[in-house]
Amino acid sequence: MKIKLCADSSCDLPESILQQYDIAMLPLTVNMGEKTYKDGVDISIDTVFSYVDETGVLPKTAAGNMQEYLDFFHRWTDAGYEVVHVSVSSLLSSTCRNAVLAAEMMEHVHIIDSRDLCGGYALLLLRCADLIASGATVEEIMKDAEEYRERLCSSFVLNRLDYIHHGGRCTALEMLGANALRLKPCIQVRDGKLSTGKKYRGSEERATMQYVEDCMKNSEELDAHRIIFAHTNCSSEVREAAVSCIRSHLPEVEELIEMRAGCSIAAHCGPGTVAVFCARKEKRMPAV
């Protein structure tokens, strides 16, 4: 059977890359006040940031429910496809659980828990796309995904703490103290969950460059096939400096994807967030 690769919108890949790799996407729901939007379809992170600036309230994101997944998967199985669906980490969202419940009611649907988000999730998804293009079987793809996700190195640095304060993840005192010291925490993905790592200090550009330099330490151990640099509306100067730094440390990189994170990430991280997603040749990179 033909294989159809599917994902949810929290992989944050732009439409051009989804089309290039023939990936079908189920958008997550973003609720702002009384209005409901589909992530990556009829709302952008600019709208999210404007809403938070005006109201001081974070949008609410919602996972696709089981019926949505049933309808989504049937679109492809009814057309004769074997479905491989890669999901955002099951420890960060109920999206994966709902996809699994739907798959259990069907045949020819296989769920991969990325145990990651945003660019890390996207790297695993694109790895699966490469395998499908090479003629791999579903069993080979599932086995490879289990191994590859253990090599992923995923982290991001927050430029502002008011979004995680609105979300109840830090107190007002912690936010004020961090702002006074110009601290920008690094958030890491470890075993499918988020944890706080190193704290960077200084301007947005200075903190970003320190962070990227740390990510590129021991660059000879990194898989140079594909790296993702993601951001939430940081300046062009910061983006160019970060990408240049990555290339200087890893000039042999085959594909360096720069992408803007989607609404599900932006709603929790805020403007100016930067992230580097890569994989080691062997096992997981030490914490930044």
Q: Is 79 strand, coil or helix?
A: coil
Q: What's the token pair of residue 30? A: 């973003």
pLDDT in tens, 23-57: 999 999 999 888 899 988 888 899 999 998 898 88
Q: How far apart are CA 83 and CA 39, in angstroms?
A: 22
Using a 10 angstrom Cβ sphere, with 0-12 exposed, 13-18 middle and 19 or more buried, the burial of residue 187 is buried
Q: Which domains does the chain have, with CATH numbers?
A: 2-150 (3.40.50.10170), 151-279 (3.30.1180.10)
Buried b (16+ CB within 10 A) or exposed e, 37-50: bebbeebbbebbbe
> In this structure, what token pair is assigned to residue 150?
């253990």
Tokens 């499908």 -> residue: 132
H-state helical runs in the chain: 15-20, 45-55, 66-77, 95-104, 118-133, 138-148, 162-166, 172-180, 204-215, 236-249, 263-269
The DSSP letter of residue 65 is: P
Q: Which amino acid is at 37?
A: Y
Q: Which residues pair with 174 in a beta bridge?
A: none
CA count, 13 A, side-chain hemisphere, 14:
10
Structure-token pair, residue 244: 């240049």
95-149 per-position pLDDT tens digit: 999 999 999 999 999 999 999 999 999 999 999 999 999 999 999 999 999 999 9
Under the banding of pLDDT at 50, 70 and 90, the label for residue 242 is very high
Q: What is the mean pLDDT of residues 234-239?
A: 93
Place of tokens 């009829």: 42
